[in-house]
A and B are shown apart, each in its own frame.
Chain A
Amino acid sequence: MNAIGMLTNLLFFPAGLFVLVTGLAYEWVDRKLVARFQNRLGPRWFQPLADMVKLLSKEEVIPEGLDVRLFVALPVVALAGALTAALYVPLVGLNPAHSFPGDLIVTLYLLSLLTMCIGLAGANTRDRFSLIGATRTLTQLFSYEAPFLLALLGPAIVVGSWQIREVTAYANQHWLILTQPVGFVIALIGLMGKLELPPFDAPEAETEIVAGALTEYSGRGLALFRLGKGVELVIGLTLVAAFFLGGVANPVAFFIKTLALLLIIAGLQSLFARLRIDQAVGLWWRYGALLALVQLLVLIILRFWGWNGGL
């Protein structure tokens, strides 16, 4: 690939400007839907953009008693990780910009990078609320990560490849939600855990621990973390839609399927109250991981007998 094509990939599409804007738009859709579920009018369409510009134009306070380099670098690394992941997923139904065997695992790790950065950011400060928030963030990371990974490995096992492009090529012909409903549910709820949306928002429970791990962040740092979350929302929705909902072969299918998933997520958010951190962990390990594991075993055994994975 030539240099200009690569630069375009990095700066505009698929990573860069495009996912940033889509992330903001999807954040608005999410907030608006939740507001409508609560019988409110909800934010105006440019709200996430205004929030972002305002945060970027605010002063950034650097508290005392922490590693300043880490404090400044973490938001950048988090956003960069999320943006890099955008290079490997089939956004808007186009082929991923880059692809190599095993990129599914790399993408999932890149998506976890954001959560790791938030945890580190909380542990870096001396503020006790950030510390508790960081502990909870990392606890939750260890609980949902395994089931989420196992759920997304289901389609990969069926196809027999760890490459996102090959999995989506197969999933375009098959609605894997029919043969792997458990995997779909776990992947979707795992995405909510990843994004710390209610009911999995114990890590940033503002009624208990101020704002969780990001309590000490203001201005630029906070803006970058929020942008990263928006990007991760888009990428996660794309992955789930591409793997389980019959693929995202063209832009229309992409937007319809991801927005439908967003509708479900918004509904779940307004339906449930916040889970305590131990309840969340129990839910993931007692049911999530177990069910995902059982489904994975069944898939492997069936494949062993020569089933091709379709209906």
Chain B
Amino acid sequence: MSINLEKTFQDALEQVKTWARTNSPWLIHFNSGSCNGCDIEILATLTPRYDLERFGVKLQGSPRHADILICTGPVTRQARERLLRVYEQMPEPKYVVAVGSCAISGGVFQGCYNVIGHIDQVIPVDAYVPGCPPRPEAIIDGVIKLLKSLEAQEQTA
């Protein structure tokens, strides 16, 4: 009986945690070699017109405060170290969203002498948002899908 009680308690705790995580995603944005098109779209996403604070999204300056790393662009040789360092500075649990064709596949920069490749050759990616650049709606959709998948994971676990 006591084991069951503990299990219910643990389950409830997990549910509360998942609820909080999916309702309060704080972002940090890192550009690892993008042409700036995707970055401008991300900034547009954060403007009052799309108002991401509805979903509890906040843009944070410090990787230590963030839950979701939004990456744009291919990874250049110079940015690789920095991308890794920003990723490693984030506290667990952390998620990565790759925004733009370049972040997914290297896009038009594929095969450049200074480009290593796409984001998931360097760090694990949880959601991909295609487009060159993707519209703000697409970026919001990507983040929301990531949050939905977290809830689904919780239910199957």
A43–B91 touching, CB < 8 Å: no
Please judge, given known A-B contacts A58-B91, A211-B65, A217-B64, whether A50 and B53 are in contact too, CB under 8 Å. Answer: no
A61–B62 touching, CB < 8 Å: no
Q: How far is the CA of A216 from the CA of B93 in the complex (A)?
A: 17
Give the nearest-CB partner of A42 in chain B: B53
B53 partner, pick from A35, A206, A207, beta carbons under 8 A: A35
Report chain B residues within 8 Å CB of A206: 59-62
Number of A-B contacts (CB under 8 A): 88
B51 partner, pick from A41, A47, A207, A218, beta carbons under 8 A: A41
Q: Flag whether A219 is at the interface (Cβ < 8 A).
A: yes
A51 partner, pick from B19, B24, B61, B92, beta carbons under 8 A: B24
Q: How far is the CA of A57 from the CA of B16 in the complex (A)?
A: 10
B48–A39 touching, CB < 8 Å: yes
A58 partner, pick from B16, B53, B92, beta carbons under 8 A: B92
Please judge, given known A-B contacts A54-B24, A210-B62, A211-B60, whether A40 and B53 are in contact too, CB under 8 Å. Answer: yes
Chain B interface (Cβ < 8 Å from any Cβ of A):
16-17, 19-21, 23-24, 48, 51, 53-54, 56, 59-62, 64-65, 67, 89, 91-93
Report chain A residues within 8 Å CB of B62: 129, 206, 210-211, 214-216
B16–A53 touching, CB < 8 Å: yes
Please judge, given known A-B contacts A50-B20, A57-B17, whether A35 and B51 are in contact too, CB under 8 Å. Answer: yes
Q: How far is the CA of A47 from the CA of B26 in the complex (A)?
A: 12
Q: How far is the CA of A35 from the CA of B53 in the complex (A)?
A: 9
In the A-B complex, the 5 residue pairs with the closest CB atoms: A206-B61, A53-B20, A54-B20, A59-B91, A50-B23
Give the nearest-CB partner of B16 in chain A: A53
Please judge, given known A-B contacts A38-B48, A60-B91, A211-B62, whether A54 and B53 are in contact too, CB under 8 Å. Answer: no
Q: How far is the CA of A219 from the CA of B48 in the complex (A)?
A: 28
A54–B21 touching, CB < 8 Å: yes
Q: How far is the CA of A38 from the CA of B23 in the complex (A)?
A: 22
List 4 extra interface pairs beyond A40-B54, A53-B17, CB under 8 A: A59-B91, A61-B64, A214-B62, A216-B64
Q: Flag whether A222 is at the interface (Cβ < 8 A).
A: yes
Q: Flag whether A44 is at the interface (Cβ < 8 A).
A: yes
Q: How far is the CA of A285 from the CA of B91 in the complex (A)?
A: 40
Report chain A residues within 8 Å CB of B53: 31, 35, 40-43, 47
B-facing residues in A194-209 (Cβ within 8 Å): 206-207
B-facing residues in A27-49 (Cβ within 8 Å): 31, 35, 38-44, 46-47, 49
Please judge, given known A-B contacts A46-B23, A47-B23, A54-B21, whether A61 and B89 are in contact too, CB under 8 Å. Answer: yes
Report chain B residues within 8 Å CB of A43: 53-54, 56
Q: How far is the CA of A40 from the CA of B51 in the complex (A)?
A: 6
Interface core residue of B56, B62, B89 (most chain A CB under 10 Å): B62
Give chain B nearest CB distance to A310 CB in angstroms: 45
B89–A57 touching, CB < 8 Å: no
Report chain A residues within 8 Å CB of B17: 53-54, 57
A42–B54 touching, CB < 8 Å: yes
Q: How far is the CA of A47 from the CA of B24 in the complex (A)?
A: 7
Report chain A residues within 8 Å CB of B24: 47, 50-51, 53-54
B-facing residues in A114-147 (Cβ within 8 Å): 129
Report chain A residues within 8 Å CB of B65: 211, 217-218, 222
B20–A59 touching, CB < 8 Å: no
